[in-house]
A and B are shown apart, each in its own frame.
Chain A
Amino acid sequence: MTGRAVAATNQHYDLDPELFGLFLDPLLKYSSALYESPGDTLAVAQERKLRFVAGRLGIAGGERLLDVGCGWGSLVLFMAREYGCLTTGISPAPRQHEYIAARAAELGISGLVRTEVGHFELASLPERGFDAVTMLGSIVHMPDVDAAFRKARQVLRREGSLYVSESCFRSTAARQAHRQRAGTEFVRDSIFGWGDMRPLSALVAAAENAGFSIAAVDDLTAHYYRTIEDWLAGVRAARPRIEELAPGYAAVLERYLEIANAGWGYTTKHYALTCRNARKGWRA
């Protein structure tokens, strides 16, 4: 399983960061933004989203934060720069780490940002060593969702928070009906190599089984739709350069994003789940 997951993340996420810079926002955040008005740009909406995540986690400043599946570091760099958090990012794609280290140095926050190449499930991390853990779109690549939540709770201090956002099948029935569909298989096998979308209920069950309290569930489906529309516009505008960097990839990327955006609300949803490592949740 792990071998497959490594291949999976390397396949897509280890491409040249310049390629992603052509259609993502300046922070290279590869997950849903949060829009407030029709005029919002992708860049503005991505920053708003990061502040929203900080709010859900109760970040006030200086917390120790672990980002699982840190991508090109949008979250760790932002939390370090804006909130002075001591951040750790973990991801199996090696190229991302050089990029994050270089960005942290440019921003003068190298002391607040460290990253680790590897798999969260197997990583040796300090027990109760973090105040907050985030997983934005990474749990879909983990074969054992129960183990992922258990590990998250293990590394969180008591009264620490976990924020998980994920694309989900709309229901258990939708998962059964669609997991073998051509579109699903294309996204899973041609883009990522491995991924397993679950309904929200499966994530909630795993969180409960790990001993978490559920603090909030947010429906971000419409926001992810709009985020992907913005990415698609970027891909179309940058097609010639994408073709130079990765011949044939613009069409693959466009197809992937179009499939993802066709399904929202019909077969898929995008949810954020906030959990607390505390028996009674947030203090009254």
Chain B
Amino acid sequence: MTAAGNHNAGDDIVATVTAIAAAELGLPAASLRPDADLRAIEGMDSVKVLRMIARIEQAYDIELDDEVVFGLSSVAGTAGAVRQALGEQP
């Protein structure tokens, strides 16, 4: 799953997830690539991961599966899970 493509809603989700992750990490959004491994970024810890997930869930009024929450990988991967939870086709 990648963020590439012309799906506008999908791009919005990637942008939103990026903004939320960057805010939690205190980094500029531009420094987060969609394929960056979120868990490997310096300064990331399990508490920040959960806060990030909570903000994403709140933003979209969804509840992500535990596999997504605890297996969080990249911005694009998370955006894909959001898309799925919203019932959108990727």
- List the interface of chain A (C-beta within 8 A of B): 177, 181-183, 258-259, 262-263, 266-267
Chain A residue numbers with a CB within 8 Å of B48 are 262
Cα–Cα, bound, A262→B24 (Å): 12
Kindly state whether residue B36 has any CB partner on chain A within 8 Å.
no
Across the two chains, which residue of chain B brings its CB closest to A225? Answer: B54
Using A259-B47, A262-B50, A262-B54 as known contacts, list a sample of 17 further A-B pairs with CB atoms less than 8 Å apart, ordered by residue number in A: A177-B70, A181-B46, A182-B45, A182-B46, A183-B45, A183-B46, A258-B47, A258-B51, A262-B47, A262-B48, A262-B51, A263-B47, A266-B50, A266-B53, A266-B54, A266-B69, A267-B50
**Shortest distance between the CB of B29 and any CB in chain A (Å):** 21
Q: Which residues of A contact B70 (CB under 8 A)?
A: 177
Can you list 22 A-B contacts with CB-CB less than 8 angstroms, sorted by A residue number? A177-B70, A181-B46, A182-B45, A182-B46, A183-B45, A183-B46, A183-B47, A258-B47, A258-B51, A259-B47, A262-B47, A262-B48, A262-B50, A262-B51, A262-B54, A263-B47, A263-B50, A266-B50, A266-B53, A266-B54, A266-B69, A267-B50
In the complex, what residue of chain B is closest to A173 when comparing beta carbons? B66
**Chain B: residues with CB nearer than 8 A to chain A?**
45-48, 50-51, 53-54, 69-70
Residue of A with least CB distance to B66: A266
Chain A residues, CB < 8 A from B50: 262-263, 266-267
**Hey, which chain A residues are within 8 Å of B69, CB to CB?**
266
Nearest-neighbour CB distance to chain A for B44, whole angstroms, equals: 12
| A171 and chain B: residue at smallest CB distance | B66
Residues of B within 8 A of A183 (CB): 45-47
Query: Complex formed: what's the CA distance from A18 to B84 in Å?
Result: 50
Complex Cα gap A267–B70 (Å): 10
Cα A36 to Cα B51 with chains together (Å) = 24
Nearest CB on A from B87, distance (A)? 22
B21: min CB distance to chain A, Å: 15
Complex Cα spacing A177 to B67, Å: 13
Best-surrounded residue of B45, B47, B54 (most CB of chain A within 10 A):
B47
Q: Which residue of A lies closest to B54 (CB)?
A: A262
Q: Smallest CB-CB separation from B48: which chain A residue?
A: A262
Please name the 10 residue pairs, one residue from A and one from B, whose CB atoms are nearest each other, closest first: A262-B50, A262-B47, A262-B51, A266-B50, A183-B47, A259-B47, A183-B46, A181-B46, A266-B69, A263-B50
In the bound complex, residues from chain A placing their C-beta under 8 Å from that of B46 are 181-183
A49 to B77, CA, bound (A): 41
The closest CB in chain A to the CB of B64 belongs to A266
Give the CA-CA distance A267 to B48 in the complex, in Å. 13
